[in-house]
Amino acid sequence: MIKMVTMYDVDPSELVEAIAEELKKNENIKPPEWAKFCKTGVHKQRPPVREDWWYIRAASVLRKVRLLGPIGVSKLRTKYGGKQSRGYKSERFMKGSGSIIRKILQQLEKAGFIAKGSKGIHKGRIITPEGIKLIDRIAKKIGGNTGNRVGKVEKEKKNG
């Protein structure tokens, strides 16, 4: 039985890296000039170290939109937030940068990978068929190259 490899069957970090490489080729997704100076949230003390962090974040946001259905900037800010060190006081959770997420969502929308939509009472950004196709194509490429979870599970069923 041959099962099609989807984003749920591959390692998320490998998938995000591969999607980021694909997004670099898209002319609609470019970091703004201020991106090299900014932090990714109030809880961070320094800006990102990687030069291509904008594409990594865009790929991660695209994956989150696919996973979580209609989702907005506020929920994504919570996903990309973290604990802020406040000196001798106890740590507190702080949300991530809304401007970065908003710009990335706008760029992904312009590229045609996501769109505004709703499901029931929930409104927000949803993934388009073009975005699903991109993610699944990359997942298939990754799943075919490495020993993916699907192959391991099928082997265990045969052996066990």
Residue 1 lies in a domain: no
Residue 119 backbone phi and psi in degrees, to 5: -140, 110
Query: What is the C-alpha to C-alpha distance for residues 127 and 63, in angstroms, rounded to an integer?
Result: 9
Q: What is the pLDDT of residues 118-127, one digit of tens each?
A: 988 999 999 9
Give 70's contacts (C-beta < 8 A, 6+ positions apart). Answer: 117, 118, 119, 122, 123, 124, 125, 126
Q: What is the pLDDT of residues 128-160, one digit of tens each?
A: 999 999 999 999 998 876 544 555 555 555 555
Q: Does the structure show a pLDDT above 70 at 24?
A: yes
Q: Mind listing the pLDDT tens digit for each residue in 26-80?
A: 999 999 999 988 999 989 999 899 999 999 999 999 999 999 989 999 999 999 9
Q: Report phi then psi at 123, rounded to 5.
A: -120, 155
Categorize the per-residue pLDDT at 9 as very low, low, confident or very high, splitting at 50, 70 and 90. confident
Rounded Cα distance between 119 and 84, Å, is 34
Question: Is 113 domain-assigned?
Answer: yes
Whether 2 is covered by a domain: the verdict is no
Whether the CB-CB separation of 4 and 143 falls below 8 Å is answered with no
Contact status, residue 126 vs residue 70, Cβ threshold 8 Å: yes
Contacts of 124 (CB under 8 A, 6+ apart): 69, 70, 71, 72, 75, 116, 117, 118
* Domain CATH code at residue 116: 1.10.10.10
Residue in the block written with tokens 């052996």: 159
Q: How many structural domains does the chain have?
A: 1
Domain assignment present for residue 55? The answer is yes
Please give the residue range of the domain that contains residue 145: 7-159
Q: Is there a domain that residue 18 lies in?
A: yes
Q: Is residue 50 part of a domain?
A: yes
